[in-house]
Structure 1
Amino acid sequence: MASRIQSMNNVCYSELEHQFSLDALDDWETTSGLVESAIRMMRDRLPEAEARIFSHASEAREYREIDREGLSSIPEDSLFIACLSMCGSGVPLSSFFNDFVPDDSLLRYLLEDSYGGFYIVPVVHRFSLLAFILLCAPEGAEKPDTILPAEASFVAELVGRLRINLYAASIADSRQRELLKLAEFPQVLRSRQSVAELTSRILDDLQKEVAFDAGVYYEFEEYLDRLLPVVWQGIPEAPPVLAPGDGISGHTMVNRKAISVPDRARHPSFSRIEGEAFLQGSFLSVPIYTDKRLIGVVSLCRYSDNPHPLGVEHRYTLEIAASFLATEINNRQLYDELEQSYFSTVSSLSRALEAKDHYTRGHSERVMTLAVGIARELGLSAESTRRIRYAAILHDIGKIGISDSIITKPSSLTAVEYAEIKRHTDIGYDIVNDSRFFEDIRDLIKYHHEKMDGTGYYAKHKGDYPWEAMIISIADIYDALTSDRPYREAFSESRALKSLEELIGIHFDRRIFDAFKSCLSRSRSD
């Protein structure tokens, strides 16, 4: 009797020891750590076999060894994977190939001959193959046909634990990938040329982070204390303007807190709200705000027939994206205000200079308007257009250092006077050279009288000075030709164009001339 009790105790102790050893699978921090623990356990319990685990890499759409990445991989859409995902338990590898994929000789050679595999075990969760275990014969050892029943029982128990933890790890990996992708979101926002473009594309950009069936972005109008719909998707007609507390987004506006509801129809409160009826099924509504002000509200939904409702994890993603949006919009608006302040100062300085001579009054602003129009016809970036805008309004700023008697002289200049007035490009360069704000336009100011053939102020040839200077040059010459001067009347537009065409290849190239003509035509039609 005592020996029988001792034997039972030994069995119980062995079973407990076995269970405790499998508990180590629950103590993981990374997917690779989990896989390594499983391989180590099988090495201890199955000393006559080497275990390999091929895990699903969803981002690469393949199965591969985490601990030996790059060695080999199997596409997720292969017949081998499809058949293996339908197996309920482990099977001898040769039997599996014979019964299901007899024609895949290349994969069979890889697994049976290269790896020495003889037994394969799928790890399936809800008809999805998370991974598979390949038991291989050690190098130089005889390959068995299968494994012993006790070994198969152990592997089955290990797979049961591994299935749960691999599924949890796959969810964690998916969330980490989403966060990693979300880290690129600010770069996407910065690529937008203006606040207007940023807000008009806001739902397109968010769709890539949190897929939705319908959505709307409202801009907050502080003076009128209301939400104005700016852009929407999946909605047949324009959403109404919302007052505080109206609809779902109006609640978000008032409370400045995100709302996440898994099913509007079942919600005791939001199911009774009539406003924003297009937000059906699961929905999210998130404020876009800084610590000082509300910028807007974005509300998204997935309809009831969508098998993947919006959940808490989507709320977190949207809140992070909203934080990025608030920062970018706020920074852009502050920058625009600062830019406008700078430009107002620069324009005032230019007008003060031109007030000396009524013949040139408004010249720099007209040159700026033409130069910006040419830049847009050429399809230049917003940053390039900005540089041209500033350089054009300041192109003659150096004349502030030239004697009034020369600037306003009604007759032709002497050689000495002409040499003096040519100094205005150097003076202009020196004026802006000390300001970092203008460091990217100083060369445009200096070389706007340069010529492609080297006969300009500094004898530079094309390629030796910024090509954008040609844009300012053609605008400058045209405005000078079409303006009255003490010594001649203004040219007509057609006469000025004929004169400019003769300067192609000297002051500017054909492409800039054609863009200039298009700009003039567009301004006439406007």
Structure 2
Amino acid sequence: MSNESIFSRLDGFLAKLADKLGDDILKLGIAINTGQNEFMIISFYDTTSEIGPLRGLYFKISKEPMDEFLKGNSEIPFVTKPSERLSYRRWIYRNIMDIPEVFVFSIAIDTEVFEDFIFFVTKRDLSKELKEILKDEIPFLFKETVKLRLWISKILYLNSFLTNITKVTQAVNNYLYHHSLRVADLSALIAHAMELNPEEIQMIRHAGLIHDVGKLWVPREILDKPSKLTKEEFEQVKLHVYKLKDVFAGNKFMKEIVEIARLHHEKMDGSGYMGIRSENIPIESRILAVADIVDALLHDRPYRKALSIEETIMELISMAKNGKLDWKIVRTASKIIPSFYTGAYHISPLPFLNVGKEVTVQTLKVKGKMKVHKGAVIGISKDTIEVSFNEDADFSFGERVIIWYEFGDMLERLEATSLSESENVYTFRLDREKEKEKCVRVLWNLGFQVVKVEGLEIESKMDEGFFANLWQKLKGNATISRTDIIGGDRISFFTDGKVFEVGDLVLGKFVAYGEPVIVIGSIVKHEIMSSRYKYWMDYLDIPEEMLSRVFRSIFRRQIELKIGLKFWRVESNKVKSNY
């Protein structure tokens, strides 16, 4: 029986309970102890309709009320006092005008350990009624919460463990870190398209995060070598898949994930690193293999430039024809890759947003300076996301925010509401109605000339002709680079060395379908990827005719790939299974 069915039963139980108590009940919920006086809501019902779903929200209970509860019998409700209101999360009292009564009943059988509990926010003292109602329900609640606590404990452990692994990878090899995140995203996307169940998709994504961790033990001069590897060097590279078992030895929660990850270089005809053939390669590892190859081909490596989307798909089809890759997976990948990398694949990225993912959280609208903070996802549930911030964040309760993050190289956004904060870890409730809003963009490797502009104040009277003339004056000092993502509001590009700093005003030009496109903007982020630098440039308020050229180029590229998709479908359908 799935965990989701347990959640459904608990939600139904609270709804019936609220109906039974009538107008006297304001809010009620069930929380489980995740350790160190920290609790997580697993079911919540709110008659005030102010907050909405809160499953996955974390909060702490201070030591004093905890000790007070433990002094008494666990069957007697612990009642909070008005003076103690501030020690509880603000969502309990949100949208309630009068001072309410709050009752907490421990969900325990023959124990004084304060593990899980059910709480009630009511208009009047209902302690006697609640005790009578719950008398026969505690065994049911105990049985259900124990199951969930064991499952959630495993999830929390994996989240914490994988977060630490990704941080180590990022500190040692930034390219490997981003490659792993992209492979994890793409693997999950392919698995979703192939209709694998949520648990399998999550397992594949975790495997994607760790699949190349063994390369941290391979010398950088070999990984970044610009020429062909010697036989001895290639043997060292191959060891990274064997290293996974050593790295995660004794970790029972990682056993299945490691088995998937360590086979990502196996080929259907048995020509992979370990010589394992198709029938012994799990489908999760086959999916991971395709995602790994796609990401490697679509990005610059020290020994070659990135391939186009068209070239990448044709290479996949060729490998499937030659018995190297699973043709069903290649067929699926060939269908979704062109749409995904042009922003036309309409799927919520939320199921694939997971631990280790870097995010930027900004307020939707404030007076004065906009609040922007960078952090990383450390937990996510059906309706909430937990973010640990790198610096002190200052989001207030109920504040609307935008969460920006990269999903398989593409920039995505989610809207959310701040719910709670504990030690610079914030919980946000996600707005599912806004999930499908996307930025117009396309993965596209084009030559890009870019130059720093100094001493220029952008004014509304500056038209396309002004920037064209400015380009003519400055182009002699331009740096030759390559675009990565071209979007309607931002462009990312690579240079061979560090050229710009965050905050620099830059002018750039690329040519698409014979049409020159000039953009001006500011550098908002840069990172080193192997021996190259990647920059993100946000456009300024450029003239409408300049922006039209950008969008025209993107739309033509999307149409071109859409037409090509018909051909790739025919080609991939020709591939027959030879194994």
Q: TM exceeds 0.5?
A: no
Q: Of Structure 1 and Structure 2, which has the larger fraction of its residues in helix?
A: 1
TM-score, normalised to structure 1, is: 0.44
Higher relative contact order (Cα pairs below 8 Å, separated by 6+ residues): 2
TM-score (norm 2): 0.40
Name the structure with the higher strand share.
Answer: 2
